[in-house]
Amino acid sequence: MQRSFNLIKQVSTKEEVDLCAFNQKAWLPNQEDILGASEKMEQYCQSVRVVPISSDSSRVLWYLLVFKSFVGSSAYSLAWLTSDEMKVTVNDILKEHQPDVIHCDTLGLERYVEREYWPHLALNHHNVESHMMLRRAQKETNPLKKVYFFREAYKLRSYEKRVCPAVGINIVVSDLDKKRLLKFVPDARIMIVKNGVDISYFNSKKTQAIPHSLVFAGSMDWYPNEDAMLYFIRHIWPKIKESYRDASLTIAGRKPSQGLRKAASHDPSISVTGFVEDIRPYIDQSEVYVCPIRDGGGTKLKLLDAMAMGKAIVTTTVGAEGLEIKNKEHVLIADDPETFARMVQTLFEDKKLRFHLAQNARKFVEKRYAWEVIGKDLLAAYQLVKK
């Protein structure tokens, strides 16, 4: 969401934008919310059209979709966006406006664009979907889920092999994702348009941090985020508390699961906030930002946000992958519980190191990851497929 909004905002400074978007009820549950979001986007778009997701209308329909994706040939992450209304809406826009470039924001949306337009289509990959699903399958311990995820990965890879070489340009968020995609679609045309951060919005107010306080921020209904914090609570947090009884942890983000709440409920020094209107005060008042991500793909916007806020960060190799950051210069990287806990404890004790990492992180994102910089790269990608 953050990437999509900011790229639209940047492109609108040079091009006319017509937006056609799916609405997920979890984000905008009623018509008033949809209208408010549409009015916001009309500041940057000459037209905005919103289409509901069919499987959102009923839990029964959702379960049926999951079952069909398990036994059928279509991957769930593609099938859940099936919509006759979207097909009609997109065709109407194409006929009315005859755009120079069609930007599809994720794999599977290109099916709503007639093949004649595909040479002028930019397909955005937030992650390499098949790689992310394969990684999840390899980590899964439940045999039934493991089979399901491997099947999803296979179906997604087959789909990527068919689609990616056929579109005008594939947009990925990092050199690492470019290499991953080229391994099995070597004839695909690919350009890197990195994730970014709003450096004006994510800017520290220099709030006095609470001693020995940690924070993680991210949507908790995204599997890699929940997995990361369950792992942290179970395997890293006890090691930190052995040395720092006053240590506190805030987990901020929408829709935390009952499993996460239960894991945190045994320790009053862990706060699970759920959705918050403004994440910046939670980051600002914490001494250290932790990002123990073990799964997922792409690059982590949450890490860029924390870097822009001038936070000392401890993350994993997976958390840092795809970003051009260096261990001990911009962040600290640790991949096992003992090392991760020790890195956190080091930052609690070493004020100079916290300051050094924070300053370097802020300067780094200002130079390489500001949306104004990223927007220029996207416009350059569009030039390759313009009519």
What tens digit of pLDDT does each residue of 310-343 get?
A: 999 999 999 998 888 999 999 999 999 999 999 9
| Domain at 2-196+372-383, CATH class | alpha beta
Prediction pTM value:
0.83
Q: Are 24 and 56 in contact (CB under 8 A)?
A: yes
What tens digit of pLDDT does each residue of 32-49 get?
A: 989 999 999 999 999 999
Domain boundaries, the chain: 2-196+372-383, 210-369
Q: How far is CA 147 from CA 115, 144, 150, 240, 335, in A?
A: 33, 5, 5, 36, 27
Beta bridge partners of residue 122, listed in sequence order: 103, 169
Q: Based on DSSP, count helices (H) and strands (E) in the chain, helices before strands.
A: 17, 12
What tens digit of pLDDT does each residue of 144-167 get?
A: 999 999 999 999 999 999 999 999
The SS3 of residue 243 is: helix
Residue tagged 């921020």 (tokens): 217
> Quick check: 208 pLDDT over 80?
yes
Strands across the sheet with 169-172, in order?
Answer: 102-104, 121-125, 169-172, 190-192
Q: How far apart (Å, rounded) are the C-alpha atoms in residues 97 and 307?
A: 40
> Quick check: 28 pLDDT over 80?
yes
What tens digit of pLDDT does each residue of 50-105 get?
A: 999 887 777 777 778 878 887 888 898 888 888 999 999 999 999 999 999 999 99
Give the model's pLDDT for residue 56: 77
What tens digit of pLDDT does each residue of 267-288 get?
A: 999 999 999 999 999 999 999 9
Give the model's pLDDT for residue 322: 84
- Residue 227: Cβ within 10 Å count: 18
What tens digit of pLDDT does each residue of 353-376 get?
A: 999 999 999 999 999 999 999 999
- Give the domain 210-369 fold: Rossmann fold (3.40.50)
- Residues 232-260 have a mean pLDDT of 96
Name which of 163, 182, 155, 183 is nearest 75 in CA terms: 155
Amino acid in position 200: S
Give the model's pLDDT for residue 299: 56
Q: How confident is the model at residue 387 (pLDDT cuts 50, 70, 90)?
A: low
2-196+372-383 and 210-369 share one CATH topology? yes
Give the model's pLDDT for residue 287: 97
Length of the chain: 387
